[in-house]
Amino acid sequence: MELRDKIIVITGGASGIGAAMARRFAAEGAKKIVCADRDLAGAQSVADEIGGVAIRTDVSLAEDISNLIETVESDIGPIDLFVSNAGIITSGGAEVDDDVWQNIWEINVLAHIRAARILVPKMLERGGGYLLNTASAAGLLAQIGSAPYSVTKHAAVSFAEWLAITHGAEGLKVSVLCPQGVDTPMIAGVDTSTVAKDGIVTPEHVADMCVEAIDDERFLILPHPVVGDYIKQKGADPERWISGMQRWQAMLAAGAS
């Protein structure tokens, strides 16, 4: 799909990957870009820069997602591309409290589902549309030190895959973005040794990769191409993969001590 003259909504559009996408998509000639974020001032700053629109949206709230979509569709026009980009990370494992698990589930998974629940019927009725869901390489592999992030990002990848399988023949296009480390506010409070092994890329690089993937209508977007090799290794020999990850975790723990 060409981005020129398209109406695009990006959640998490105030900073990081979302802001970089907004700028890059605008450079491609998008008709209107909506930056949605809890940080309305940040979203407005990006929107002002590109001639877009900012809408305050907390994607953990179903009513905010519904309001975002219906406002854009009624006031601006039919959404051609919806980017479910907002996400969070938290450290820990099974001991993490239920309310923390629920919050990350709402943002990293249910936000994608709730947007699709409203948009997919509209897009199919119009003959097609595009969903780009931001997940993570952790959704294909694992995130050492964070069970909630690993679990929710796996779910996000799985849901995107299901959408592509179920509705692809009806005209719905789906891409899922799975980067490793990206230089965004999200990694500011994270031990970067867990994400920096294969390099930390810029949000602008990620946005460039997204433009290429959307143009090709490609499902899997890997800003770190080595992740594709890891997927093959994991699939070919899961036992060896787990052993290797255990060794990597032990090395990280030893380096931190």
pLDDT in tens, 204-257: 999 999 999 999 999 999 999 999 999 999 999 999 999 999 998 898 888 765
Per-residue pLDDT tens digits for 56-99 = 999 999 999 999 999 999 999 999 999 999 999 999 999 999 99
Domain annotation covers residue 137: yes
Instruction: Note whether 57 and 38 are within 8 A (CB).
Output: yes
Name the least confident of 114-118, 177-181, 201-205, 251-255: 251-255
Name the least confident of 17-21, 48-52, 192-196: 192-196
Specify the CATH number for the domain of residue 228.
3.40.50.720
Q: How confident is the model at residue 181 (pLDDT cuts 50, 70, 90)?
A: confident
Count structural domains, the chain.
1
Q: Spell out the residues 6+ positions from residue 68 whose beta carbon is closer than 8 angstroms to its own.
A: 9, 11, 34, 36, 55, 57
Confidence check: pLDDT of 173 > 90: yes
Report percent pLDDT > 70 for the chain. Answer: 95
Per-residue pLDDT tens digits for 124-149 = 999 999 999 999 999 999 999 999 99
Residue with tokens 């897009």: 123
Residue with tokens 């796996």: 154
Confidence check: pLDDT of 189 > 70: no
pLDDT of residue 190: 57
Q: How confident is the model at residue 100 (pLDDT cuts 50, 70, 90)?
A: very high
Domain annotation covers residue 175: yes
Domain annotation covers residue 256: no
The rounded distance, in Å, linking the Cα atoms of 135 and 151 is 11
Residue with tokens 């990206």: 182
Burial of 206 (0-12, 13-18, 19+ CB in 10 A): buried
Confidence check: pLDDT of 198 > 80: no
The rounded distance, in Å, linking the Cα atoms of 223 and 202 is 10
For the record, the structure tokens of 89 come out as: 């990370």
User: Can you name the residues that pair with 36 across neighbouring β-strands?
Assistant: 11, 55
Domain annotation covers residue 244: no
- pTM of this structure: 0.93
Instruction: Note whether 211 and 217 are within 8 A (CB).
Output: no
pLDDT of residue 50: 98
Q: Indicate which residues carry an active-site annotation.
A: 149
pLDDT of residue 197: 72
Closest CA to 252 of 142, 144, 150: 144
Domain annotation covers residue 47: yes
Domain annotation covers residue 253: no
Q: Which domain holds residue 169?
A: 7-232
Residue with tokens 């399988």: 165
